[in-house]
Structure 1
Amino acid sequence: VRAWAANQAAPDAAVLAARRAIDADLAAILYTSGSTGKPKGVVLSHRNMVAGARSVASYLSITPADRILSVLPLSFDYGLSQLTCAFLAGATAVLLNHLFAKDVLKAVVEERITGLAAVPPLWFQLCTLPWPQDCTLRYLTNSGGAMPKTTVASLRAALPRAELFLMYGLTEAFRSTYLPPAELERRPDSMGRAIPNAQVMVVRPDGTPCAPNEPGELVHRGALVSLGYWNDPVKTAERFKPAPGQDPALPLVEMAVWSGDTVRMDEEGYLYFIGRSDDMIKVSGYRVSPTEVEEAVYATGLVDEAVAFGVPHPQLGQAIVLLALPKDGALAGAALLKECQRRLPAWMVPAHVTLSREAFPRNPNGKIDRKILRLDYLTMFDTISGNTQ
């Protein structure tokens, strides 16, 4: 084994002197979680990172008095944001490599934490813990997936003094939207509006704007748009395309991130997530969002975790499979399926339900790994024998 330093060529002093670093230069490469394919390296400039930190720190009102608990991987843009926001505002960042949810509660109390960011699977666990009435938490943030209304209600009951910010972001553009806490009561299923210094549009495939409540693709433009995918011009061209609605008199084209996510925008400009284009399930011609199915299942109050996905079906095109972690081990799959039939249109009712006794696998960013779970069910309808277990 040889030392790393001994095998590196010494840089030429003249080259170093001539190289001037500016804010447009590469600062970091963050790899996506790979939930819809092979992970891609998102190239971030210094400008991207500073603009992102400034935007998020402004609407969270982070000050030097804040103490932010960092529990998410720093390779995850949402996790890294806890550090960049703290550095920008002069706040304190406390790093925690936790094993159990109770470790987070202990750190919040001992370190007098004021800000906490997590993803839905972790919030599911945290909202059930015995939080002290005099908890120092000032704000909570959620990203990396939609938070079920039942979890929102539980968190607000457990931590009534903390403001809850529901957010949506892309690694390719860092953070895109947030819902002000004052709007949470009126629109608990909304992902909010564009963050400061960003424009978020909902467009049709030809780039024309969608009408209010018309589903379309979310497109993000502004200073947070990254420099593309490292060493992958083909994938970059698929996701980074000219921003819609540009003045044709402008000779240089501004690039925007076309997210691949289907959303709708209401008359007041608030956005609502429908689903990833890659995740949408097509059952007998109907397009079904797995998020809508999961939300209905959480609303039953019978499960701690739920994940829905589509698998090939010889007659329907695709069929919906639901996996759930019940709160009560005595719950039967047939009982949960009956609740789904009561709450959902016929084409959205799962064709198969499996109840798990263990928490679902996570990807490196802490999200439920839908892709891995789906692999075991790809051929289950080859003989058209859907059932419940």
Structure 2
Amino acid sequence: MKSATSRRYGRKMVPLDPNPRPLDHVLMGEGDAPALVDRAGVLTFAEAEEQVGRLAGWLAMQRLSAGDRIATWLPKTRQACLMPLAAARAGLIHVPINPLLKRAQVAYILADSGAKLLLTQPTRAATLEAEDVAGVSVHVTPGGGDKLPLSAQDSQGLAAILYTSGSTGRPKGVMLSHANLWLGANSVAHYLRLGPQDVVLAVLPLSFDYGQNQLFSTWAAGAAVAPLDYLTPRDVVKAVERVGATTLAGVPPLWVQLLEAEWPDSAARQLRRLTNSGGALTVRMVRALRQRFPDADLYPMYGLTESFRSTFLDPALVDGHPESIGREVPHAEVMIVRADGSNAATGEPGELVHAGPLVAQGYWQDPERTAQRFRPAPGFSRYGGTAVWSGDTAVRGGDGLLRFVGRDDEMIKSAGNRISPGEIEEAIVTGEEAVEAVAVGVPDARLGQAIVVVLRGEPSRETHLRDRLRRELPNFMQPVRYEWRDELPRNPNGKLDRAALRASVSNAGNGSGEAGN
């Protein structure tokens, strides 16, 4: 197989810049160069800058105060792509909401964030009740305003709150500063060697830190973004051809689907760069991607929303080390730490701890969970300050490369989404079909993990339960199987024994059914 990596070294790299700027400065391409490519045509950097300024001017007319939160619940429209910059320019905090979420999840995020304004579409707005948007100004079409100039926002000030599920209970809002987002964009644009010649096909949700960074890192490199909402893998293949995409970011379940799709040879060879996060690639998948896209550099990566991105594997090392998550990204320090806080030896598993300026500012209005995850860096850290203690176990080999060992929390990672079991369980027991429920993830070749629910109640009402959850939860949260039992095991404290349930479900099967949509 011909190695693609030799091409990278002829590309000019974006210079590393440790000095963050306000996020709205990230449109760094030449004025007449394409910044955004969609079905409406091409938006140049000069036009994008003009629209960001006018969107910010419209926000400034809405009687908002500095630091107020404004939410967007939109597909990948131009407004959705530009609003993170417009909000930053207006001195506001952007709260992007995944367009796949349903009423209950949206209402929670609006209330928890204290959003003062929601920009959405008429059909979405119609699903919300009056109590869901109490105190929220709902808009379906932003007006025009006088263009605001580039801002001088404090780089340590908040720019965004991204909601991510916790291992139990409700989603938590990760607070990201201008510096977090700016330096993340600079880091990724640098090590991916993005340049003005590139077109990045943005298929990931913009409410996802990985998806949002596609915008910022591309623009920081002077390249073009082509946002895409897709229904089938074939839509992605067609879009690669249509926009001339050179770069595609994905999560493992998407790669499984794309490998099953038919690719014209010209489209497959058009891609020059594939990036993966949101779950580990299997060795088999790495081999398949390298074979299907022989001219593309492959970048396996590891990250957390709380620290954005932690590691990447240089494409030159992928064929020889397909199981590795690589080394720390620029602007980051990644350590493997023993339980006593000391530096783990080479080959010794420990907790992956991330320090440096990419570390977020904690969870919005949640000091208890913030204190659990955001703690002082180990004494041997070169950055010091606050670090993200991931709860994940990793090991550093003698070659300096990191390898992921396991995830210690109870999160379910399905189709690239981090899903809280508690959210699914809460939705189930709010009805009359079940009185107790435990959701677990089981290995699945297509999804990464599939959701199986063990529950106690009325098995005869399973069809009703499935129908209700289709209305109340997004499709990526739909269980593939229900296991009804007369009793659920408990531990000595009287709590449901999740470990025992997870083991019994895993032993019973691999959850290979199809989720309802």
TM-score, normalising length: structure 2: 0.53
Cα gap change, 1:255/1:374 in structure 2, threshold over 3 Å: closer, same or farther? farther
Distance 2:283 2:484 in 1: 28
Distance 1:377 1:211 in 2: 46
Is it true that 1:78 corresponds to 2:210 in the alignment?
yes
Structure 1 residues 74-153: aligned runs within 5 Å: 74-134=206-266, 135-153=269-287
Q: Aligned with 1:275: secondary structure?
A: strand
- After TM superposition, the structure 1 stretch with the greater mean CA deviation from structure 2, 163-172 or 252-261, is 252-261
Query: Any idea what the Cα deviations from partners look like across 1:268-312, whole Å, max 9, x if unmatched?
Result: 2211111111149xxxxxxxxx99xxxxxxxxxxxx99xxxxxxx
**1:212 corresponds to which of 322, 341, 346:** 346
Is it true that 1:166 corresponds to 2:297 in the alignment?
no
TM-score, normalising length: structure 1: 0.69
Q: Aligned with 1:154: secondary structure?
A: helix
Cα gap change, 1:53/1:202 in structure 2, threshold over 3 Å: closer, same or farther? same
**1:257 corresponds to which of 362, 378, 388:** 388
Query: Any idea what the Cα deviations from partners look like across 1:233-287, whole Å, max 9, x if unmatched?
Result: 111111111111258xx9x96111111111111112211111111149xxxxxxx
Q: Aligned with 2:291: secondary structure?
A: helix
**2:180 corresponds to which of 31, 43, 48:** 48
Cα gap change, 1:78/1:380 in structure 2, threshold over 3 Å: closer, same or farther? farther
Read off the aligned partner of 2:399 and give its amino acid letter.
Answer: E
Q: Aligned with 1:182: secondary structure?
A: helix
Read off the aligned partner of 1:269 and give its amino acid letter.
Answer: G
Query: Residue 366 of structure 2 corresponds to which residue in structure 1?
Result: 232
Cα gap change, 1:206/1:20 in structure 2, threshold over 3 Å: closer, same or farther? same
User: CA contact under 8 A between 1:131 and 1:159: conserved in structure 2?
Assistant: no
Query: Any idea what the Cα deviations from partners look like across 1:349-371, whole Å, max 9, x if unmatched?
Result: xxxxxxxxxxxx9xx999x76x9
Q: Aligned with 1:229: secondary structure?
A: coil
**1:271 corresponds to which of 377, 399, 402:** 402
Q: Which has the higher helix share?
A: 2
Distance 1:158 1:271 in 2: 26
Give the number of equivalent residue pairs.
Answer: 307
Cα gap change, 1:34/1:103 in structure 2, threshold over 3 Å: closer, same or farther? farther
Distance 2:474 2:255 in 1: 14
Read off the aligned partner of 2:287 and give its amino acid letter.
Answer: A
Is it true that 1:177 corresponds to 2:308 in the alignment?
no
- After TM superposition, the structure 1 stretch with the greater mean CA deviation from structure 2, 135-144 or 252-261, is 252-261
Distance 2:369 2:213 in 1: 25
Distance 2:176 2:252 in 1: 26
Return the offset for 1:37.
4.8
Distance 2:285 2:487 in 1: 32
Read off the aligned partner of 1:267 and give its amino acid letter.
Answer: G
Return the offset for 1:374.
8.5
Read off the aligned partner of 1:275 and give its amino acid letter.
Answer: G
Cα gap change, 1:123/1:37 in structure 2, threshold over 3 Å: closer, same or farther? farther
Distance 1:240 1:137 in 2: 38
User: CA contact under 8 A between 1:218 and 1:260: conserved in structure 2?
Assistant: yes
Query: Residue 353 of structure 1 corresponds to which residue in structure 2?
Result: none
Return the offset for 1:212.
1.4
Q: Aligned with 1:228: secondary structure?
A: coil
Read off the aligned partner of 1:96 and give its amino acid letter.
Answer: L
Read off the aligned partner of 1:268 and give its amino acid letter.
Answer: D
Query: Residue 331 of structure 1 corresponds to which residue in structure 2?
Result: none
Structure 1 residues 16-55: aligned runs within 5 Å: 21-34=153-166, 37-55=169-187
Q: Percent identity?
A: 47
Cα gap change, 1:11/1:115 in structure 2, threshold over 3 Å: closer, same or farther? closer
Distance 1:48 1:223 in 2: 6
User: CA contact under 8 A between 2:336 and 2:343: conserved in structure 1?
Assistant: yes
Distance 2:160 2:211 in 1: 14
Read off the aligned partner of 2:391 and give its amino acid letter.
Answer: G
Read off the aligned partner of 2:396 and give its amino acid letter.
Answer: M
